[in-house]
Structures are given as structure tokens and as C-alpha cells.
Amino acid sequence: MYHAPVEDMKFTLRHLVGLDRVAAIPGMDMVSEDLVDAVLEEAGKLAGDVLAPLNHAGDIAGSHRNDDGTVTVPDGFVHAWKAMAEGGWIGLNASPDYGGQGLPQCVSAAVNEMWHASNMGFALCQLLTQGAIHALEVVGNEEQKATYLPKLNSGEWTGTMNLTEPQAGTDLAALRTMATPEGDHYRIKGQKIYITYGDHDMSENIVHLVLARTPDAPAGVRGISLFIVPKYLVNADGSRGERNDVHCLSIEKKLGIKSSPTAVLQYGQNDGAIGYLLGEEQKGLDCMFLMMNSARYDVGLQGLAISDRAYQHALAYARDRVQGTPLQGEKGQPILYHPDVLRLMTTMKAEIEAMRALLLVGGGAIDLAHGGAADDDGFLQERANLLIPIIKGWMTERSLVLTSDAVQVHGGMGFIEETGAAQHYRDARILPIYEGTTAIQANDLVFRKTLRDNGKAVRRLLTEIRTDMDDVASAGENLATVVTAMNEATKTAEAALDALLARANSPRDAASAGVDFTMLLGYLAGGWQMARAGAAAGRALAIGEGAPEFMRAKQATTKAYMAYCLPEVDKLAAKMNKGPDALATMNPDWL
């Protein structure tokens, strides 16, 4: 069972993102509360009615490579993909010029949360396809756009992203796959691993975007180019042509997201796969970074999504299961009334709503950055760039804990696979790894987004938080403790920033504090949004707007966030402060 959190999404988009600001972006004037409500309601139905029921069975069945080399997805997936495609959901945030729906990122993200919460293994295909669409939109030439985008937006074809090779995981400089020019195309030879939906039977063609080297390219990341390699070549009339020389060698046996086929792909078992340059030669990494930024945002989103699914799973059990009588409670009350279960569920709810708020506000920042603004001095893009590693790092790391807590609420039943709670725990484990581990997000945050501008972007964020806290304070006296807690945490964050900047001359020290810094800013930014949400709820209550119980719940959830989650900021700052010096005394040989 999965119920899309439509009310919380509406509240967040309206009060925290500000749909009016998004609607003011050129080309976004169709965005209205009515439209967004309708989109969320419809998506919620598809997610709950069609995708969610396939989640557990898909985990058990898995995807398989057959003896003839084809790959079969779990029962029901082909039908579900068709339903998603026919609903126009694949290209929801894609350009209408080639069949997309043109909705802003903040709305698309809310919808994508539903797909990944209801069935992450399935929804990965859409995530990768949206990534391919995005890359083609940005760097494809007119012919490429016309050839591939309508088919991808319609879901007839799907997309993949081919980076990793056995010897080159995080280190793309070590890539070996070769692309040799041959007339208007290239011949691609090499092996790629960990290719999500690298082969399957849900679509008639698969558009692989592949990183490879041209023969005369320099060594290292500068010599990498990006290529379009379709599974089936495309005829001049746009129809599907001959089979290309790319084949699935095997499907990985994974800890989680088992329904999704993670393929080892061999390019060029025979003459080499035919590929087409996407963007400029030796600019492959720039293109890939574009896709990666978008993919990192989406993986952060998956962290939120799987956390909410696990939360809903645990909540249903906690409302149903009776064990003993809760302290100071009544006989027959379910375990939800036991203080520690209530604490766990409340903390999960607080953190999930904080994540959702930050994710959608981050989506809004991307929309604004993309749409531009007359008086923007680069701040909008800076903000989007700053939030992406925080969203990816914080939300995926926390999804490990939240899906674990959901298992814990189930007690012994949580450890039995049939219950389904364990699947979320397994599924979540990939999130802090793929699209750049948490350490890679932290490096991005520390070196590119903090040290490079001497802390300007982070400081602007902290300033905005302080300004917003003045506004929150004005929303009611009952928010005084919230504002105090947030102001103290912001001060702690500023000191941590200063300490990090002071370590700029020792990249190793700065890097070793990076994950703690990422988590610190995640918790702080989550608190920022929860404080804003608490204030908005209070104002709504005061003027009788919205459902009063929802608003009271939001106020209590805000308090819970400050009590249970925000104290992490101080701890992380203490670790950042003391950690690097302690680490410097550790000889790796002593481990």
C-alpha cells in the first residue's frame, strides 16, 4: 500500500516553494495551483494503484538475462511502463517542442517522488530516460533532437547513462572504451558496467549515452567524449532499424533494487557499435556533468521517496499491531502508542517532511536558475549548484537510517522478507553510492562550492536562513524556541564554515571534514524549511485556511524536527572541528 503524500506536496509547493514565483518564469505561465493539484492527484493514483502493487513481487522475481541474450523484467512492468508512457509522465519536465509536458522541476520532482516511493526498481527506467532527454535537449543537435526526443518522451524508447568500467568507478580518467571515427559516425568498443536498465523488454529501443575516448584524445578526463549509441539503429524515416553491436553480458545480483536490470554491456563484440557524437568531441565530461547534476538531484529524491515508503509501511504496522498496553495508555492500543515507537515514527515524519521541503525548494531554485531573472547576478544558479550535493548526500545517507528505523518498528517481522519492510532497507543502500558516493558529493560541496568562492555561496545561504527566521519569529510566539534553536544552529554552521575555510591550505583536512559538512548543511537546511513550514501552518490556522489538523500536525512536526534532528548540527560541527587533527595522527598501516 502506498498513499502519495499529495497534501504535504501541495502545502510545500504553495507555501515554501511559491508556485507564483515559478509561474512568473517565462514559459511557465501555465503553472497554477489547479493544474498542479490535478497533476499530483493523477500521479498519486497511478503510483498507488499500478506501480506500488508490483514492488514486492518485482523484488522477488528480479530481472533476468535469458539464454538468447535478451533481458526480461518482472511481470507487470511492461504494462506499467505503457501506462506511465501513455499518461505523458516520462517527459513531464521535458520541452514541449519535442513532446514533453514542460512542467517545472519542482512539480516534476513531486511526481517523481511518487514513482520512486511506489516502486523504485521500476521507476529507475524513467529516471535514466529523463536524464537522457535532458542531455539531448541541452547538447544534442537538431537532427538528434528530432530523432530521439519524441520517442523518449513518449516512452517508446528509453535511455541509459554509461560511465563506469571495471577499472574506472569514481575515477573517470581511467576510462578505456574507444570510439573510432568512421564517416558520419564512430565505432565504439569497450565494456561498461552497472548500467541501469542497460537492457530490458519494456521499450522497442534503448538510447545509450556512452562515455568513450577518441583515438587521438589526450589521457585523463579531458580526452573523453559522449556518444549516442542506440540498441537498434534508426532508419532515415525514424523507424527502428538494424540491431547495433551492443549486448548485455550479464545482470548483476544485487542487494536491492533487484527488479531493475543492472547490466554489464559489451560494445563491439563484432565490428564495433555505431555511435554518434553528442556535443563536441572531448567535451564529454561537461555533458555528463550536466546529466549528473540532474541525476544527483534525482537520487536525493529517491532517498526521500524510499524513506517515505518505509515510513508508510511502518506506520500501517504500528497502527495495527497490539503488544502489551502502552505506558499510561489504554489496553488494546497498538504499538504506535508505545513511547519509543511514537518517537521513531515522529522523527521519521519530521525528517521526511524536511527532506521533501528542501527537495522541492531546491527544484524551485533549479527552475528559477534555468528560467533566469532580470536582476539575477548568478545567485540563482549558485544556489541550485550549492543545494545539489547537499540534497544528494544528506537525503541518501538519511534514507539508510529511516528505512532501518522502519524495519525496527516491525520488530521480528521486519526481518522476514515477506513483510516487505526489509526491501526498502535493501533498496536504499545503493543511494549513497551511485551517481557519486557521499564522499564525492562532499568533495563537490567543499572544493567546488565552498572553497572556490571562499564560502560566499554558503554564507549567502546562512544569511537567507537568518532573514527567514526573523520572518518565522513574526509568525507567532509559539515559534520562539524554534527560531532560537535555528539561530544557534546557523551560528554553529557559520563557525564550521570558517573553520573549514581555515583548512583550505590542507586539502586532506578539508576533504576529511567534507561528509560531516554536507550532513551539517543538510540538517540545517531541513530545519530552515521546517521552521518556514511551521510559520506557514500557524498563519494558515490563524486565517482559517486549509485543513486545521494538517496545520497542527505541521506545527508539532516542526517542533519534533528541532528536538530530534537539529541537535545533529552541533555534533557534526564538533566532529569537523576535532576530526582532521585526530585523523592526521592515524597511520593507514595501523588500520
Q: Restricting to residues 281-340, name those near a second copy by CB under 8 A.
A: 315, 323-324, 326-328, 336-340
Q: How many CB atoms lie within 10 A of CB 112?
A: 27
Active centre residues (catalytic): 435
Shortest separation between residue 172's beta carbon and a second copy, angstroms: 9
| Residue 514 found at the interface with a second copy (CB under 8 A) | yes
In the complex, minimum distance from the CB of residue 433 to a second copy, in angstroms, rounded to a whole number:
6
- For the chain, the residue count is 591
Q: Output the smallest distance, CB 232 to a second copy, in A.
A: 28
Q: Grid coordinates 536525493 are at which residue?
A: 300
Among 143, 377, 477, 581, contact with a second copy (rule: CB under 8 A)? 581
State which of positions 406-445 bind a second copy (CB under 8 A). Answer: 407-408, 411-412, 414-418, 422, 425-426, 429-430, 432-434, 437-439, 442-443
Q: Return the bridge partners of 188, or none.
A: 179, 273
What residue type is 202 in one-letter code?
M
Residue 588 in contact with a second copy, rule: CB under 8 A: yes
Footprint of a second copy on 7-36 (CB under 8 A):
none
Q: Which of residues 329-388 bind a second copy (CB under 8 A)?
A: 336-343, 345-346, 349
- Where do we find the cell 507555501? 15
Question: Is the Cβ of residue 28 or residue 257 nearer to a second copy in the bound state?
Answer: 257
Inter-residue contact 517 to 446 (CB < 8 Å): yes
Residue 352 CB coordination number (10 Å): 26
Query: What mask of x and - would describe binding to a second copy in positions 85 to 114, judged by CB under 8 A?
Result: ------------------------------
Using the rule CB under 8 A, give the single segment among 27-35, 63-71, 248-256, 525-533 that binds a second copy.
248-256
Number of residues that bind a second copy (CB under 8 A): 92
Cell of 13: 509547493
512 binds a second copy (CB under 8 A): yes
Identity of the residue numbered 320:
D
Assess contact for 209 and 172: CB atoms under 8 A: no
Of 35, 501, 504, 553, the one binding a second copy (CB under 8 A) is 553
234/230 Cα distance (integer angstroms)? 8
Measuring CA to CA, which residue among 457, 458, 447 is closest to residue 496?
458
Q: Which amino acid is at 508?
A: R
Q: Which three cell numbers stand for residue 203?
A: 521499450
Exposure on the CB side of residue 37, measured as CA atoms within 13 A: 6
Grid cell for residue 52: 506500488
Q: Which residue matches cell numbers 547576478?
A: 377
Cβ neighbours of 252 (radius 10 Å)? 16
Q: Does 578 bind a second copy (CB under 8 A)?
A: yes
Of residues 118-177, which lie at the interface with a second copy (CB under 8 A)?
164, 168-171, 173-174
Our CB check for a second copy shows the closer of 83 and 439 to be: 439
Considering beta carbons, is residue 35 or 221 the nearer one to a second copy?
221
- From CA 589, how far away is CA 277, in angstroms rounded? 46
Residues 448-487 binding a second copy (CB under 8 A) are: none
Residue (157 or 425) nearer to a second copy, CB:
425
